[in-house]
Structure 1
Amino acid sequence: MAHELGESDWGDWLPTAVAEADPDTVAVWYLGCNGFVLKGSEGTTLLIDPYLGLGDPPRTVRMLPVPFDPADVAEADAVLATHEHSDHVHGPTQAPILAATGADYYAPDASMAVVEREAWTEEWGVAADQFVTVAEGDQFAVGEFTVHVVRVNDPDADHPVGYVIESDAGTVFHGGDTRPADSFPNLADRFDIDLGVLAFGSVGMLPDKQTREPKRTRWYADENDVIRAANALELDRLVPSHWDMWKGLTADPTVLHHHARGFTYPDRLDVVEIGDRIDL
Protein backbone atom coordinates (compact mmCIF):
# COMPACT_ATOMS: atom_id res chain seq x y z
CA MET A 1 0.00 0.00 0.00
CA ALA A 2 1.32 3.44 -0.92
CA HIS A 3 2.50 5.65 1.93
CA GLU A 4 1.99 2.99 4.57
CA LEU A 5 3.22 3.78 8.07
CA GLY A 6 6.82 2.82 8.62
CA GLU A 7 8.11 0.94 11.63
CA SER A 8 10.60 2.81 13.77
CA ASP A 9 13.67 1.23 15.33
CA TRP A 10 14.51 4.41 17.27
CA GLY A 11 12.26 3.62 20.23
CA ASP A 12 10.58 6.55 21.97
CA TRP A 13 13.65 8.66 22.72
CA LEU A 14 12.78 11.51 20.33
CA PRO A 15 9.19 12.19 21.49
CA THR A 16 10.44 11.71 25.06
CA ALA A 17 13.18 14.30 24.49
CA VAL A 18 10.56 16.75 23.21
CA ALA A 19 8.21 16.07 26.13
CA GLU A 20 10.99 16.47 28.72
CA ALA A 21 12.59 19.56 27.16
CA ASP A 22 12.35 22.87 29.01
CA PRO A 23 13.68 25.38 26.47
CA ASP A 24 14.63 28.92 27.44
CA THR A 25 13.40 30.22 24.08
CA VAL A 26 11.95 28.00 21.33
CA ALA A 27 13.41 24.57 20.61
CA VAL A 28 13.08 23.16 17.10
CA TRP A 29 13.53 19.49 16.21
CA TYR A 30 13.89 18.22 12.65
CA LEU A 31 11.86 15.08 11.94
CA GLY A 32 13.22 14.50 8.45
CA CYS A 33 11.41 15.18 5.16
CA ASN A 34 9.70 18.51 5.97
CA GLY A 35 8.57 17.66 9.50
CA PHE A 36 9.41 19.81 12.51
CA VAL A 37 8.45 20.15 16.16
CA LEU A 38 8.49 23.54 17.90
CA LYS A 39 8.32 23.82 21.68
CA GLY A 40 8.25 27.14 23.49
CA SER A 41 9.46 28.15 26.93
CA GLU A 42 5.91 27.82 28.30
CA GLY A 43 5.59 24.29 26.94
CA THR A 44 3.41 24.91 23.89
CA THR A 45 4.20 22.25 21.30
CA LEU A 46 3.50 22.47 17.55
CA LEU A 47 4.14 19.82 14.91
CA ILE A 48 4.45 20.88 11.28
CA ASP A 49 4.09 18.35 8.45
CA PRO A 50 5.19 15.26 10.40
CA TYR A 51 5.42 12.21 8.12
CA LEU A 52 6.31 8.66 9.14
CA GLY A 53 5.32 6.91 5.91
CA LEU A 54 7.47 4.90 3.54
CA GLY A 55 6.55 6.65 0.31
CA ASP A 56 5.22 4.87 -2.77
CA PRO A 57 8.00 2.55 -3.95
CA PRO A 58 9.44 2.36 -6.54
CA ARG A 59 8.28 5.89 -7.38
CA THR A 60 9.13 7.51 -4.06
CA VAL A 61 11.48 5.56 -1.83
CA ARG A 62 12.15 6.82 1.70
CA MET A 63 15.88 7.29 2.36
CA LEU A 64 15.52 8.13 6.06
CA PRO A 65 14.80 6.10 9.18
CA VAL A 66 11.34 6.42 10.69
CA PRO A 67 12.21 8.27 13.92
CA PHE A 68 9.27 7.38 16.17
CA ASP A 69 5.85 5.75 16.41
CA PRO A 70 2.94 8.24 16.42
CA ALA A 71 1.54 6.40 19.45
CA ASP A 72 4.55 7.62 21.45
CA VAL A 73 3.59 11.30 21.06
CA ALA A 74 1.83 12.15 24.31
CA GLU A 75 1.79 15.95 24.17
CA ALA A 76 0.92 18.30 21.31
CA ASP A 77 -1.14 21.47 21.14
CA ALA A 78 -1.49 21.71 17.36
CA VAL A 79 -0.49 20.02 14.12
CA LEU A 80 -0.04 22.26 11.06
CA ALA A 81 -0.13 21.06 7.45
CA THR A 82 1.24 23.14 4.58
CA HIS A 83 -0.38 21.32 1.63
CA GLU A 84 -2.16 18.17 0.54
CA HIS A 85 0.68 15.90 -0.62
CA SER A 86 0.94 12.57 1.19
CA ASP A 87 4.24 13.40 2.89
CA HIS A 88 2.57 16.46 4.44
CA VAL A 89 -0.97 15.20 5.13
CA HIS A 90 -0.75 11.58 6.25
CA GLY A 91 -3.52 9.95 8.22
CA PRO A 92 -1.48 7.06 9.70
CA THR A 93 1.07 9.55 11.07
CA GLN A 94 -1.02 12.54 12.05
CA ALA A 95 -4.45 11.22 13.02
CA PRO A 96 -3.21 9.04 15.93
CA ILE A 97 -1.36 12.07 17.31
CA LEU A 98 -4.53 14.15 17.13
CA ALA A 99 -6.62 11.43 18.73
CA ALA A 100 -4.21 10.86 21.60
CA THR A 101 -3.39 14.49 22.40
CA GLY A 102 -6.56 16.37 21.48
CA ALA A 103 -4.42 18.76 19.42
CA ASP A 104 -6.11 20.95 16.84
CA TYR A 105 -5.30 20.38 13.17
CA TYR A 106 -4.77 23.45 10.97
CA ALA A 107 -4.65 22.99 7.20
CA PRO A 108 -5.86 24.57 3.95
CA ASP A 109 -8.94 23.28 2.14
CA ALA A 110 -7.14 20.92 -0.27
CA SER A 111 -5.48 19.25 2.71
CA MET A 112 -8.78 18.95 4.54
CA ALA A 113 -10.19 17.18 1.49
CA VAL A 114 -7.57 14.46 2.08
CA VAL A 115 -8.63 14.25 5.73
CA GLU A 116 -12.24 13.70 4.69
CA ARG A 117 -11.32 11.21 1.97
CA GLU A 118 -9.25 9.18 4.45
CA ALA A 119 -12.04 9.44 7.06
CA TRP A 120 -9.83 10.43 9.97
CA THR A 121 -12.82 10.86 12.30
CA GLU A 122 -14.08 7.33 11.62
CA GLU A 123 -10.77 5.51 11.17
CA TRP A 124 -8.81 7.06 14.04
CA GLY A 125 -11.41 8.64 16.30
CA VAL A 126 -10.38 12.25 15.79
CA ALA A 127 -13.13 14.67 16.85
CA ALA A 128 -14.61 16.85 14.12
CA ASP A 129 -14.07 20.03 16.13
CA GLN A 130 -10.29 19.45 16.11
CA PHE A 131 -10.11 20.43 12.43
CA VAL A 132 -9.63 24.08 11.47
CA THR A 133 -9.48 25.08 7.81
CA VAL A 134 -7.14 28.00 7.17
CA ALA A 135 -6.31 30.29 4.26
CA GLU A 136 -3.81 33.00 3.46
CA GLY A 137 -4.26 36.01 5.72
CA ASP A 138 -5.61 34.04 8.68
CA GLN A 139 -4.09 34.41 12.13
CA PHE A 140 -4.61 32.25 15.20
CA ALA A 141 -3.07 31.65 18.61
CA VAL A 142 -1.83 28.35 20.01
CA GLY A 143 -0.61 28.86 23.54
CA GLU A 144 2.40 31.17 23.47
CA PHE A 145 2.57 31.15 19.65
CA THR A 146 0.79 33.44 17.19
CA VAL A 147 0.54 31.75 13.80
CA HIS A 148 0.09 33.66 10.53
CA VAL A 149 -1.00 31.79 7.41
CA VAL A 150 0.87 33.18 4.40
CA ARG A 151 1.00 32.76 0.64
CA VAL A 152 3.78 30.64 -0.84
CA ASN A 153 4.65 29.25 -4.27
CA ASP A 154 4.42 25.48 -4.71
CA PRO A 155 3.35 24.86 -8.33
CA ASP A 156 2.84 21.14 -7.68
CA ALA A 157 0.22 21.62 -4.92
CA ASP A 158 -3.47 22.52 -5.22
CA HIS A 159 -3.52 24.92 -2.26
CA PRO A 160 -0.24 25.36 -0.43
CA VAL A 161 0.29 27.73 2.48
CA GLY A 162 3.19 28.70 4.68
CA TYR A 163 3.25 29.60 8.36
CA VAL A 164 4.97 32.45 10.18
CA ILE A 165 5.08 31.51 13.85
CA GLU A 166 5.74 34.33 16.31
CA SER A 167 6.61 34.17 20.00
CA ASP A 168 8.38 36.39 22.51
CA ALA A 169 11.58 34.45 21.74
CA GLY A 170 11.54 34.97 17.99
CA THR A 171 9.88 34.16 14.69
CA VAL A 172 9.96 30.99 12.57
CA PHE A 173 8.90 30.61 8.93
CA HIS A 174 7.93 27.24 7.43
CA GLY A 175 7.25 27.40 3.71
CA GLY A 176 6.23 23.82 3.00
CA ASP A 177 7.64 22.91 -0.42
CA THR A 178 7.71 26.52 -1.63
CA ARG A 179 9.93 27.95 -4.27
CA PRO A 180 10.65 31.69 -4.45
CA ALA A 181 7.42 33.70 -4.23
CA ASP A 182 6.54 37.29 -5.00
CA SER A 183 4.91 37.44 -1.55
CA PHE A 184 8.26 37.04 0.24
CA PRO A 185 9.48 40.67 0.20
CA ASN A 186 6.23 41.71 1.86
CA LEU A 187 6.71 39.04 4.52
CA ALA A 188 10.21 40.40 5.15
CA ASP A 189 8.68 43.85 5.68
CA ARG A 190 6.04 42.50 8.08
CA PHE A 191 8.14 40.05 10.09
CA ASP A 192 11.68 39.81 11.41
CA ILE A 193 12.21 36.11 10.67
CA ASP A 194 14.83 34.55 12.91
CA LEU A 195 14.73 31.07 11.39
CA GLY A 196 13.28 29.98 8.06
CA VAL A 197 12.69 26.46 6.70
CA LEU A 198 12.98 26.05 2.92
CA ALA A 199 12.67 22.77 1.02
CA PHE A 200 15.71 21.91 -1.10
CA GLY A 201 16.37 19.09 -3.51
CA SER A 202 17.82 17.93 -6.79
CA VAL A 203 16.14 17.03 -10.09
CA GLY A 204 15.80 13.32 -10.78
CA MET A 205 14.22 10.72 -13.02
CA LEU A 206 11.30 9.24 -11.11
CA PRO A 207 8.65 6.82 -12.38
CA ASP A 208 5.58 8.69 -13.59
CA LYS A 209 2.59 8.30 -11.28
CA GLN A 210 0.35 6.90 -14.03
CA THR A 211 2.65 5.28 -16.59
CA ARG A 212 5.56 4.40 -14.25
CA GLU A 213 7.92 5.44 -17.05
CA PRO A 214 10.96 7.49 -15.91
CA LYS A 215 10.16 11.20 -15.98
CA ARG A 216 12.30 14.23 -15.22
CA THR A 217 11.00 15.42 -11.86
CA ARG A 218 11.57 18.64 -9.97
CA TRP A 219 9.61 19.13 -6.75
CA TYR A 220 11.85 21.42 -4.70
CA ALA A 221 13.90 24.57 -5.02
CA ASP A 222 17.49 24.18 -6.21
CA GLU A 223 20.52 25.90 -4.67
CA ASN A 224 19.99 29.22 -6.41
CA ASP A 225 16.27 29.36 -5.72
CA VAL A 226 16.72 28.54 -2.02
CA ILE A 227 19.14 31.43 -1.57
CA ARG A 228 16.91 33.70 -3.67
CA ALA A 229 13.99 32.87 -1.35
CA ALA A 230 16.13 33.33 1.76
CA ASN A 231 17.17 36.78 0.54
CA ALA A 232 13.62 37.81 -0.27
CA LEU A 233 12.52 36.71 3.21
CA GLU A 234 15.62 38.29 4.80
CA LEU A 235 16.23 35.20 6.90
CA ASP A 236 18.64 35.41 9.81
CA ARG A 237 19.02 31.62 9.82
CA LEU A 238 18.19 29.18 7.02
CA VAL A 239 17.34 25.53 7.68
CA PRO A 240 17.16 23.48 4.46
CA SER A 241 14.71 20.58 4.57
CA HIS A 242 13.52 17.70 2.36
CA TRP A 243 17.00 17.20 0.85
CA ASP A 244 17.35 13.89 2.69
CA MET A 245 14.07 12.20 1.85
CA TRP A 246 13.43 10.70 -1.58
CA LYS A 247 15.77 8.44 -3.54
CA GLY A 248 16.78 10.27 -6.71
CA LEU A 249 15.97 13.74 -5.37
CA THR A 250 18.43 13.98 -2.48
CA ALA A 251 20.93 16.83 -2.36
CA ASP A 252 23.91 18.13 -0.38
CA PRO A 253 22.79 21.09 1.76
CA THR A 254 26.37 22.11 2.56
CA VAL A 255 26.70 23.50 -0.97
CA LEU A 256 24.36 26.28 0.10
CA HIS A 257 27.28 27.85 1.98
CA HIS A 258 28.87 28.62 -1.40
CA HIS A 259 25.67 29.93 -2.95
CA ALA A 260 24.91 32.14 0.07
CA ARG A 261 28.40 33.62 0.32
CA GLY A 262 27.80 36.56 -2.00
CA PHE A 263 24.41 37.56 -0.62
CA THR A 264 23.17 39.49 2.41
CA TYR A 265 20.89 36.70 3.60
CA PRO A 266 20.84 34.26 5.23
CA ASP A 267 23.19 35.38 7.99
CA ARG A 268 23.66 31.74 8.98
CA LEU A 269 23.04 28.31 7.48
CA ASP A 270 22.00 25.58 9.90
CA VAL A 271 22.29 22.13 8.36
CA VAL A 272 20.40 19.69 10.56
CA GLU A 273 19.86 15.95 10.33
CA ILE A 274 16.83 13.97 11.37
CA GLY A 275 16.46 14.04 15.17
CA ASP A 276 18.60 17.18 15.65
CA ARG A 277 17.51 20.04 17.90
CA ILE A 278 18.32 23.71 17.42
CA ASP A 279 17.17 26.68 19.51
CA LEU A 280 16.22 30.26 18.75
Structure 2
Amino acid sequence: MTDSDWGDWLPRAVADADPDTVALWYLGCNGFAIKGNEGTVLWIDPYAGTGDPPRTVRMIPVPFDPDDIDVADAVLATHEHTDHVHGPSQAPILANTDADFVAPDDSLAVAREEERWTENWDVDEEAFLEVTEGDELKIGEFTVHVVETQDADATHPVGYVIEHESGTLFHAGDSKPSESFSALADEFDIDLGILAFGSVGRVPDKETGEPIETKWYSDENEIAAAAEDLALDRLVPTHWDMWKGLTADPTALHDHVRSRSHPNRLEIVEIGDRVDL
Protein backbone atom coordinates (compact mmCIF):
# COMPACT_ATOMS: atom_id res chain seq x y z
CA MET A 1 0.00 0.00 0.00
CA THR A 2 1.03 3.57 -0.65
CA ASP A 3 -0.42 6.83 0.57
CA SER A 4 -3.06 8.47 -1.58
CA ASP A 5 -1.63 10.69 -4.29
CA TRP A 6 -4.66 12.98 -3.92
CA GLY A 7 -5.05 13.30 -0.17
CA ASP A 8 -8.60 12.83 1.08
CA TRP A 9 -10.52 14.87 -1.48
CA LEU A 10 -12.18 11.91 -3.20
CA PRO A 11 -13.57 10.29 0.00
CA ARG A 12 -14.71 13.74 1.08
CA ALA A 13 -16.36 14.37 -2.29
CA VAL A 14 -18.35 11.16 -1.88
CA ALA A 15 -19.25 11.89 1.74
CA ASP A 16 -20.30 15.48 1.04
CA ALA A 17 -22.23 14.87 -2.19
CA ASP A 18 -26.00 15.29 -2.27
CA PRO A 19 -26.94 13.84 -5.67
CA ASP A 20 -30.37 14.38 -7.21
CA THR A 21 -30.37 10.80 -8.52
CA VAL A 22 -27.37 8.43 -8.23
CA ALA A 23 -23.76 9.60 -8.48
CA LEU A 24 -20.82 7.38 -9.41
CA TRP A 25 -17.13 8.17 -8.96
CA TYR A 26 -14.60 6.18 -10.97
CA LEU A 27 -11.73 5.00 -8.76
CA GLY A 28 -9.60 3.71 -11.64
CA CYS A 29 -9.00 0.04 -12.42
CA ASN A 30 -12.56 -1.31 -12.00
CA GLY A 31 -13.55 0.48 -8.81
CA PHE A 32 -16.51 2.74 -8.19
CA ALA A 33 -18.12 4.60 -5.34
CA ILE A 34 -21.89 4.88 -5.81
CA LYS A 35 -24.15 7.20 -3.79
CA GLY A 36 -27.92 7.50 -3.97
CA ASN A 37 -30.03 10.56 -3.28
CA GLU A 38 -31.00 9.18 0.14
CA GLY A 39 -27.36 8.81 1.16
CA THR A 40 -26.70 5.10 0.68
CA VAL A 41 -23.09 4.51 -0.42
CA LEU A 42 -21.74 1.39 -2.14
CA TRP A 43 -18.09 0.77 -2.98
CA ILE A 44 -17.47 -1.78 -5.75
CA ASP A 45 -13.99 -3.29 -6.22
CA PRO A 46 -12.11 -0.37 -4.62
CA TYR A 47 -8.37 -0.93 -5.00
CA ALA A 48 -5.55 1.26 -3.72
CA GLY A 49 -2.70 -1.19 -4.31
CA THR A 50 0.17 -0.81 -6.74
CA GLY A 51 0.08 -4.29 -8.24
CA ASP A 52 3.05 -6.63 -8.10
CA PRO A 53 5.90 -4.94 -9.99
CA PRO A 54 7.47 -5.80 -12.35
CA ARG A 55 4.68 -8.23 -13.32
CA THR A 56 1.74 -5.88 -12.81
CA VAL A 57 2.61 -2.18 -12.65
CA ARG A 58 -0.01 0.40 -11.71
CA MET A 59 -0.18 3.21 -14.29
CA ILE A 60 -2.58 5.59 -12.51
CA PRO A 61 -2.59 7.52 -9.21
CA VAL A 62 -3.77 6.00 -5.94
CA PRO A 63 -6.87 8.19 -5.51
CA PHE A 64 -7.83 7.45 -1.91
CA ASP A 65 -6.52 6.22 1.40
CA PRO A 66 -8.90 3.54 2.73
CA ASP A 67 -8.51 4.97 6.25
CA ASP A 68 -10.13 8.19 5.00
CA ILE A 69 -13.35 6.43 3.97
CA ASP A 70 -15.91 6.68 6.74
CA VAL A 71 -19.13 6.56 4.71
CA ALA A 72 -20.09 3.14 3.35
CA ASP A 73 -23.06 0.80 3.57
CA ALA A 74 -21.45 -2.07 1.65
CA VAL A 75 -18.28 -3.02 -0.19
CA LEU A 76 -19.04 -5.31 -3.14
CA ALA A 77 -16.49 -7.60 -4.80
CA THR A 78 -17.01 -9.09 -8.25
CA HIS A 79 -14.33 -11.80 -8.04
CA GLU A 80 -11.27 -12.97 -6.15
CA HIS A 81 -8.39 -11.27 -8.03
CA THR A 82 -6.13 -8.96 -6.01
CA ASP A 83 -7.33 -5.77 -7.68
CA HIS A 84 -10.90 -6.67 -6.70
CA VAL A 85 -10.40 -8.28 -3.27
CA HIS A 86 -7.59 -6.61 -1.36
CA GLY A 87 -7.44 -6.40 2.41
CA PRO A 88 -5.33 -3.23 2.69
CA SER A 89 -7.76 -1.44 0.34
CA GLN A 90 -11.06 -2.75 1.68
CA ALA A 91 -10.77 -4.01 5.26
CA PRO A 92 -10.17 -0.49 6.66
CA ILE A 93 -13.44 0.63 5.06
CA LEU A 94 -15.27 -2.12 6.95
CA ALA A 95 -13.40 -1.28 10.15
CA ASN A 96 -14.36 2.41 9.92
CA THR A 97 -18.03 1.82 9.08
CA ASP A 98 -20.86 -0.65 9.58
CA ALA A 99 -20.50 -1.81 5.97
CA ASP A 100 -20.88 -5.43 4.90
CA PHE A 101 -18.43 -7.11 2.53
CA VAL A 102 -20.66 -8.59 -0.18
CA ALA A 103 -18.90 -11.19 -2.30
CA PRO A 104 -19.06 -14.70 -3.81
CA ASP A 105 -17.48 -17.64 -2.00
CA ASP A 106 -14.00 -17.57 -3.55
CA SER A 107 -13.67 -13.86 -2.87
CA LEU A 108 -14.63 -14.40 0.77
CA ALA A 109 -12.06 -17.19 0.95
CA VAL A 110 -9.35 -14.66 0.10
CA ALA A 111 -10.57 -12.31 2.84
CA ARG A 112 -10.94 -15.05 5.42
CA GLU A 113 -8.15 -17.53 4.71
CA GLU A 114 -5.46 -15.80 2.66
CA GLU A 115 -5.50 -12.27 4.02
CA ARG A 116 -7.19 -12.96 7.39
CA TRP A 117 -9.07 -9.70 7.60
CA THR A 118 -10.58 -10.51 11.00
CA GLU A 119 -7.11 -10.98 12.47
CA ASN A 120 -5.23 -8.19 10.72
CA TRP A 121 -7.91 -5.49 10.83
CA ASP A 122 -10.81 -4.59 13.10
CA VAL A 123 -13.29 -6.59 11.00
CA ASP A 124 -15.93 -8.94 12.41
CA GLU A 125 -16.92 -12.20 10.75
CA GLU A 126 -20.51 -10.87 10.72
CA ALA A 127 -19.43 -8.32 8.11
CA PHE A 128 -18.97 -11.06 5.50
CA LEU A 129 -22.05 -11.66 3.35
CA GLU A 130 -21.76 -14.47 0.81
CA VAL A 131 -23.78 -14.12 -2.39
CA THR A 132 -24.17 -16.10 -5.58
CA GLU A 133 -25.93 -15.84 -8.91
CA GLY A 134 -29.68 -15.31 -8.53
CA ASP A 135 -29.48 -13.62 -5.13
CA GLU A 136 -31.24 -10.32 -4.51
CA LEU A 137 -30.52 -8.05 -1.59
CA LYS A 138 -31.65 -4.66 -0.37
CA ILE A 139 -28.92 -2.22 0.66
CA GLY A 140 -30.48 1.05 1.72
CA GLU A 141 -32.21 2.58 -1.28
CA PHE A 142 -30.61 0.10 -3.72
CA THR A 143 -31.81 -3.32 -4.81
CA VAL A 144 -28.81 -5.43 -5.83
CA HIS A 145 -29.18 -8.46 -8.10
CA VAL A 146 -26.25 -10.90 -8.28
CA VAL A 147 -25.93 -12.15 -11.86
CA GLU A 148 -23.88 -14.50 -14.01
CA THR A 149 -20.88 -13.19 -15.93
CA GLN A 150 -18.10 -14.77 -18.00
CA ASP A 151 -14.52 -14.35 -16.83
CA ALA A 152 -12.44 -17.45 -17.51
CA ASP A 153 -9.51 -16.03 -15.54
CA ALA A 154 -11.54 -15.99 -12.30
CA THR A 155 -12.78 -18.98 -10.31
CA HIS A 156 -16.18 -17.52 -9.35
CA PRO A 157 -16.98 -14.15 -10.89
CA VAL A 158 -20.32 -12.38 -10.53
CA GLY A 159 -21.83 -9.12 -11.71
CA TYR A 160 -24.18 -6.73 -9.94
CA VAL A 161 -27.31 -5.18 -11.43
CA ILE A 162 -28.15 -2.29 -9.11
CA GLU A 163 -31.66 -0.86 -9.25
CA HIS A 164 -32.70 2.54 -7.91
CA GLU A 165 -35.78 4.64 -8.42
CA SER A 166 -33.63 6.89 -10.62
CA GLY A 167 -32.39 4.12 -12.91
CA THR A 168 -30.44 0.88 -13.21
CA LEU A 169 -26.72 0.27 -13.53
CA PHE A 170 -24.70 -2.88 -14.15
CA HIS A 171 -21.16 -3.62 -12.98
CA ALA A 172 -19.86 -6.68 -14.85
CA GLY A 173 -16.49 -7.02 -13.11
CA ASP A 174 -13.92 -8.20 -15.65
CA SER A 175 -16.49 -10.13 -17.69
CA LYS A 176 -16.12 -10.67 -21.39
CA PRO A 177 -19.29 -11.20 -23.49
CA SER A 178 -21.56 -13.70 -21.78
CA GLU A 179 -24.49 -15.79 -22.94
CA SER A 180 -26.33 -14.42 -19.92
CA PHE A 181 -26.27 -10.82 -21.16
CA SER A 182 -29.21 -11.02 -23.57
CA ALA A 183 -31.39 -12.41 -20.79
CA LEU A 184 -30.30 -9.54 -18.53
CA ALA A 185 -31.40 -7.10 -21.24
CA ASP A 186 -34.81 -8.78 -21.28
CA GLU A 187 -35.13 -8.58 -17.50
CA PHE A 188 -33.64 -5.15 -16.80
CA ASP A 189 -33.62 -1.79 -18.53
CA ILE A 190 -29.97 -0.94 -17.91
CA ASP A 191 -29.24 2.77 -18.05
CA LEU A 192 -25.49 2.55 -17.45
CA GLY A 193 -23.22 -0.45 -17.92
CA ILE A 194 -19.67 -0.76 -16.62
CA LEU A 195 -17.54 -3.14 -18.71
CA ALA A 196 -13.81 -3.89 -18.54
CA PHE A 197 -11.74 -3.08 -21.63
CA GLY A 198 -8.07 -3.50 -22.45
CA SER A 199 -5.42 -4.50 -24.93
CA VAL A 200 -3.51 -7.74 -25.41
CA GLY A 201 0.06 -7.49 -24.14
CA ARG A 202 3.03 -9.42 -22.85
CA VAL A 203 3.07 -9.75 -19.06
CA PRO A 204 5.71 -11.65 -17.07
CA ASP A 205 4.55 -15.11 -16.05
CA LYS A 206 3.85 -15.42 -12.33
CA GLU A 207 6.11 -18.46 -11.96
CA THR A 208 8.91 -18.05 -14.52
CA GLY A 209 9.00 -14.30 -15.04
CA GLU A 210 9.05 -14.83 -18.80
CA PRO A 211 6.77 -12.48 -20.81
CA ILE A 212 3.66 -14.27 -22.08
CA GLU A 213 0.80 -13.15 -24.30
CA THR A 214 -1.93 -11.93 -21.93
CA LYS A 215 -5.56 -10.98 -22.51
CA TRP A 216 -7.50 -10.24 -19.33
CA TYR A 217 -10.24 -7.94 -20.64
CA SER A 218 -12.56 -7.52 -23.59
CA ASP A 219 -11.10 -6.04 -26.75
CA GLU A 220 -12.87 -3.39 -28.85
CA ASN A 221 -15.18 -5.78 -30.68
CA GLU A 222 -16.01 -7.83 -27.58
CA ILE A 223 -17.00 -4.87 -25.44
CA ALA A 224 -19.12 -3.48 -28.30
CA ALA A 225 -20.89 -6.83 -28.67
CA ALA A 226 -21.47 -7.08 -24.91
CA ALA A 227 -22.93 -3.57 -24.78
CA GLU A 228 -25.32 -4.46 -27.59
CA ASP A 229 -26.36 -7.74 -25.96
CA LEU A 230 -27.07 -5.86 -22.73
CA ALA A 231 -29.00 -3.15 -24.64
CA LEU A 232 -27.12 -0.48 -22.70
CA ASP A 233 -28.16 3.12 -22.82
CA ARG A 234 -24.72 4.30 -21.65
CA LEU A 235 -21.48 2.32 -21.79
CA VAL A 236 -18.65 3.18 -19.39
CA PRO A 237 -15.43 1.27 -20.26
CA THR A 238 -13.08 0.61 -17.36
CA HIS A 239 -9.75 -1.06 -16.52
CA TRP A 240 -8.12 0.35 -19.69
CA ASP A 241 -6.06 2.73 -17.55
CA MET A 242 -4.55 0.33 -15.03
CA TRP A 243 -1.81 -2.15 -15.95
CA LYS A 244 1.36 -1.43 -17.89
CA GLY A 245 1.29 -3.38 -21.15
CA LEU A 246 -2.49 -3.86 -21.11
CA THR A 247 -3.70 -0.25 -21.30
CA ALA A 248 -5.91 0.84 -24.19
CA ASP A 249 -7.48 3.93 -25.76
CA PRO A 250 -11.21 4.02 -24.96
CA THR A 251 -11.83 6.71 -27.57
CA ALA A 252 -11.23 3.99 -30.19
CA LEU A 253 -14.53 2.45 -29.12
CA HIS A 254 -16.50 5.17 -30.92
CA ASP A 255 -15.82 3.39 -34.22
CA HIS A 256 -16.71 -0.02 -32.82
CA VAL A 257 -20.08 0.91 -31.32
CA ARG A 258 -21.17 3.34 -34.06
CA SER A 259 -23.15 0.87 -36.19
CA ARG A 260 -24.66 -1.12 -33.33
CA SER A 261 -28.12 -0.67 -31.84
CA HIS A 262 -26.56 -0.12 -28.40
CA PRO A 263 -25.06 1.57 -26.50
CA ASN A 264 -26.88 4.81 -27.17
CA ARG A 265 -23.94 6.69 -25.70
CA LEU A 266 -20.29 5.89 -25.05
CA GLU A 267 -19.23 7.66 -21.87
CA ILE A 268 -15.49 7.80 -21.22
CA VAL A 269 -14.44 8.59 -17.66
CA GLU A 270 -11.02 9.03 -16.14
CA ILE A 271 -9.96 8.23 -12.60
CA GLY A 272 -11.69 10.61 -10.17
CA ASP A 273 -14.50 11.58 -12.56
CA ARG A 274 -18.12 11.67 -11.41
CA VAL A 275 -21.08 10.66 -13.55
CA ASP A 276 -24.78 10.71 -12.60
CA LEU A 277 -27.76 8.62 -13.61
Q: Which amino acid aligns with 1:155?
A: A
| Length-normalised TM-score, structure 2 | 0.99
Question: What is the Cα deviation at residue 68 of structure 1?
Answer: 1.1
Equivalent position of 1:242 in the other structure: 239
The counterpart of 1:151, out of the listed 131, 143, 148, is 148
SS of residue matched to 2:106: helix
Question: What is the Cα deviation at residue 208 of structure 1?
Answer: 0.3
Q: Distance in 1 between matches of 2:84 and 2:156?
A: 12
Q: Which amino acid aligns with 2:140?
A: G
Q: Distance in 2 between matches of 1:230 and 1:8?
A: 33
Q: Which amino acid aligns with 1:9?
A: D
User: Does 2:137 correspond to 1:103?
Assistant: no
Q: Which runs of 5+ in 2 are unaligned?
A: none
Equivalent position of 2:13 in the other structure: 17
Q: Distance in 2 between matches of 1:105 and 1:238?
A: 26
User: Does 2:86 correspond to 1:86?
Assistant: no
| Length-normalised TM-score, structure 1 | 0.98
* Structural mapping, 1:1-280, within 5 Å: 5-116=1-112, 117-280=114-277
Question: What is the Cα deviation at residue 61 of structure 1?
Answer: 0.1
Q: Which amino acid aligns with 1:215?
A: I
Q: Which amino acid aligns with 1:146?
A: T
The 4+ residue runs of structure 1 with deviation greater than 2 A are none
SS of residue matched to 1:92: helix
Question: What is the Cα deviation at residue 9 of structure 1?
Answer: 2.2
Cα RMSD for the two superposed structures: 0.5
Question: What is the Cα deviation at residue 6 of structure 1?
Answer: 2.2
SS of residue matched to 1:85: coil
Q: Can you list the C-alpha shifts for 1:78-97, whole angstroms capped at 9, x where unaligned?
A: 00000000000000000000
SS of residue matched to 2:254: helix
Question: What is the Cα deviation at residue 8 of structure 1?
Answer: 1.3
Q: Which amino acid aligns with 1:158?
A: T
Q: Can you list the C-alpha shifts for 1:204-257, whole angstroms capped at 9, x where unaligned?
A: 001001010010000000000000000000000000000000000000000111
Q: Distance in 2 between matches of 1:190 and 1:263?
A: 20
